[in-house]
Chain A
Amino acid sequence: KQEVTQIPAALSVPEGENLVLNCSFTDSAIYNLQWFRQDPGKGLTSLLLIQSSQREQTSGRLNASLDKSSGRSTLYIAASQPGDSATYLCAVRPRGHNYGQNFVFGPGTRLSVLP
C-alpha cells in the first residue's frame, strides 16, 4: 500500500531564506506527484504537478524535483516571504490501480516565514 510522509512536520524560517520541503513515498509505481498549498481554513491550491517521466517542474520561486527510484520529491522555495506561510502537502497518484484510484496524500509541512 502506498504511503506518503513529509518531513519536517513544521518549519519556521526568517524572511528571505531559501528552504526545502521533503516528501517521501513507499512505492515508485506512480503516474505523477502533485504539490499543494493550503492556507488555514481553506481548500487546497495546486502548485506544481510532476509527471513520472519528469525530474522537475518550476513555477516562479518554486521548484519541485522528483526522484522516482528513491521515492522522494522536494519542493524548493527561493527567497521566502511571509505570504508563503501555509501548509504544504504532496500527493502521489499510484499506478496499477483501478481508474478511480485517488491520490495518496502526505500529512503536510506547516511553514511559517517570519518577517
Chain B
Amino acid sequence: DVKVTQSSRYLVKRTGEKVFLECVQDMDHENMFWYRQDPGLGLRLIYFSYDVKMKEKGDIPEGYSVSREKKERFSLILESASTNQTSMYLCASRASAAFTPWQPQHFGDGTRLSIL
C-alpha cells in the first residue's frame, strides 16, 4: 500500500513565524501536491510538483512556497505565517500523470495548523 506521511498531525505557531510542513511518500511517485481544506471552500490546491526540483503554482499559492529536493519529500513553507493560514493541510502523491494519467491520488492524514 502507498504510504503518504505528514510530519505533524497538529501544529500551533505564531504570526510571523516561518513554518515548515513536511510530506514523505514511499512509492517513488513523481507527482506530489499540497492542498488546504477549509469549511465551505473544500480542497484547494496550493502547489504541486511533477518531479524533483519542479514545481507549479496551484489555485492559491500566495503566502506559500515549496521545496522538492528529493523525490520522496515535498515541503510546504509558510514564509511569514498569518492567521488566515489557519487550516487543515493535506499532502498527496501520484505516479506520473504524464505517463499514467489513470493512476489514483493518495493522501496523507493531514496537518491541522493553527496560527495564533
Contact B96 A107 (CB under 8 A): no
Point out the residues of chain A lying under 8 angstroms from B102, CB to CB: 31-32, 49, 51
Interface 1/0s, chain A 42-82, versus B by CB < 8 A?
11111001010000000000000000000000000000000
Task: Choose among B43, B50, B88, B112 the residue that contacts A100 (Cβ–Cβ < 8 A).
Answer: B50
**Smallest Cβ-Cβ distance to B31: which chain A residue:** A100
Point out the residues of chain A lying under 8 angstroms from B48, CB to CB: 100, 102
For residue A34, CB closer than 8 A to chain B, the reply is yes
Q: What's the Cα separation between A51 and B102 when bound, in Å?
A: 7
Contact B45 A43 (CB under 8 A): no
Q: What's the Cα separation between A41 and B105 when bound, in Å?
A: 19
Point out the residues of chain B lying under 8 angstroms from A103, CB to CB: 105
Contact A46 B31 (CB under 8 A): no
Q: What's the Cα separation between A36 and B106 when bound, in Å?
A: 10
Point out the residues of chain A lying under 8 angstroms from B43, CB to CB: 89, 105
Contact B58 A43 (CB under 8 A): no
Q: What's the Cα separation between A14 and B92 when bound, in Å?
A: 33
Contact A43 B90 (CB under 8 A): yes
**Smallest Cβ-Cβ distance to A30: which chain B residue:** B101
For residue A91, CB closer than 8 A to chain B, the reply is yes
Interface 1/0s, chain B 92-116, versus A by CB < 8 A?
1000111001101111111010000
Point out the residues of chain B lying under 8 angstroms from A45, CB to CB: 107
Q: What's the Cα separation between A107 and B104 when bound, in Å?
A: 19
Smallest distance from the beta carbon of A27 to chain B beta carbons, Å? 15
Q: What's the Cα separation between A52 and B45 when bound, in Å?
A: 23
Indicate whether A46 sits within 8 Å of B106 (C-beta atoms), given known contacts A31-B101, A99-B98: yes
For residue B74, CB closer than 8 A to chain A, the reply is no
Q: What's the Cα separation between A106 and B104 when bound, in Å?
A: 16
Point out the residues of chain A lying under 8 angstroms from B42, CB to CB: 105-108
Contact B105 A42 (CB under 8 A): no
Smallest distance from the beta carbon of A57 to chain B beta carbons, Å? 11
| Interchain Cβ contacts under 8 Å between A and B, 27 examples | A31-B102, A32-B104, A34-B104, A34-B105, A41-B88, A41-B110, A42-B110, A43-B90, A43-B108, A44-B107, A45-B107, A46-B106, A49-B102, A49-B104, A91-B105, A95-B101, A99-B96, A99-B97, A99-B98, A99-B101, A100-B31, A100-B48, A101-B97, A102-B33, A103-B105, A105-B43, A106-B42
